[in-house]
């Protein structure tokens, strides 16, 4: 787990530097918040069992992509694409998988953009490439996803089908609001130039 911890802190540090430099250079808040976490051993085992993987190190490394995770929250939807371009240009990060839930939201209503990357980590004078999942979403998306996760997975009570449908509807409404606010902001900033 220390290898994943080192990888996630390394990528978090790089992204935090980009955040600060972008704010200083352009006087614009591209990112509202960055957080990171390491999945607990219990959560990893549960995920491996759910996906029917044998519980061994090889399956853990090859098949579990979100042991180390970073979440980037930004004000506007178009910021997500700017952040992706910045990550694509980072020399020591290799993108190995993309999940675009912006152009097509999950059935639950979740939307965002996920990248699975590999980053080089020096472990006892040996370079290992460690996977880190980066989730990028807007403040509105993050608000919905955080609360949906609490209601569906962090309680013993199961959501009714009606309440699940309501959550999906609310996600669609927030997505529309996200788009409308972004268009208003773009219109406002075009007037300044």
H or E stretch covering 14: helix 2-26
Count of the separate structural domains present in the chain: 2
134 and 151 both lie in a single domain: no
Which residue in 163, 110, 98 sits closest to 138, CA to CA?
110
For 119-149, the pLDDT digits (tens) are 999 988 999 999 999 999 999 999 999 999 8
Which CA distances in Å does 176 have to 16, 49, 62, 137? 29, 37, 37, 14
Q: How confident is the model at residue 156 (pLDDT cuts 50, 70, 90)?
A: confident
52 and 10 both lie in a single domain: yes
pLDDT at residue number 192: 47
pLDDT at residue number 193: 37
Q: What residues does 33 pair with on adjacent strands?
A: 73
pLDDT at 104 over 60: yes
10 and 93 both lie in a single domain: yes
Question: What pTM was computed for the model?
Answer: 0.90
Which CA distances in Å does 191 have to 27, 79, 131? 17, 19, 42
pLDDT at 190 over 90: no
14 and 102 both lie in a single domain: yes
pLDDT at residue number 149: 87
Spell out the long-range contacts of 26-31 with Cβ–Cβ below 8 A and sequence spacing 24 or more. Answer: 29/75, 30/74, 30/79, 30/82, 30/83, 31/72, 31/73, 31/74, 31/79, 31/83
Name the CA radius of gyration of the chain, rounded. 18
26 and 107 both lie in a single domain: yes
Asked if 85 and 98 count as a contact pair (C-beta separation under 8 A), the reply is: no
Domain of residue 26, residue span: 2-139
For 59-96, the pLDDT digits (tens) are 888 999 999 999 999 999 999 999 999 999 999 999 99
CA-to-CA distance for 170 and 163, rounded, in angstroms?
A: 10
Least confident of 28-32, 99-103, 128-132: 28-32
Tokens of 61: 């490394």
118 and 186 both lie in a single domain: no
């Amino acid at each position: 787990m220390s290898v994943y911890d080192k990888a996630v802190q390394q990528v978090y540090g790089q992204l935090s530097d980009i955040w600060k430099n972008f704010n200083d250079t352009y006087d614009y808040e591209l990112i509202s918040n960055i957080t990171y976490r390491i999945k607990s051993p219990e959560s990893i085992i549960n995920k491996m069992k759910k996906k029917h993987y044998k519980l061994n190190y090889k399956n853990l490394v090859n098949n579990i992509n979100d042991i180390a995770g970073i979440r980037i929250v930004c004000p506007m939807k178009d910021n997500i694409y700017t952040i992706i371009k910045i990550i694509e240009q980072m020399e020591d990060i290799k993108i190995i998988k993309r999940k675009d839930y912006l152009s097509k939201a999950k059935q639950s209503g979740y939307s965002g953009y996920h990248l699975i990357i590999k980053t080089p980590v020096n472990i006892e004078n040996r370079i290992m490439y460690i996977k880190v999942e980066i989730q990028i979403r807007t403040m509105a998306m993050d608000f919905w996803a955080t609360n949906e996760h609490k209601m569906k997975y962090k309680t013993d009570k199961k959501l009714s089908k009606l309440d699940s449908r309501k959550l999906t509807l609310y996600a669609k409404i927030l997505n529309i609001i996200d788009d409308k606010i972004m268009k208003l902001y773009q219109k406002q900033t075009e007037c300044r130039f």
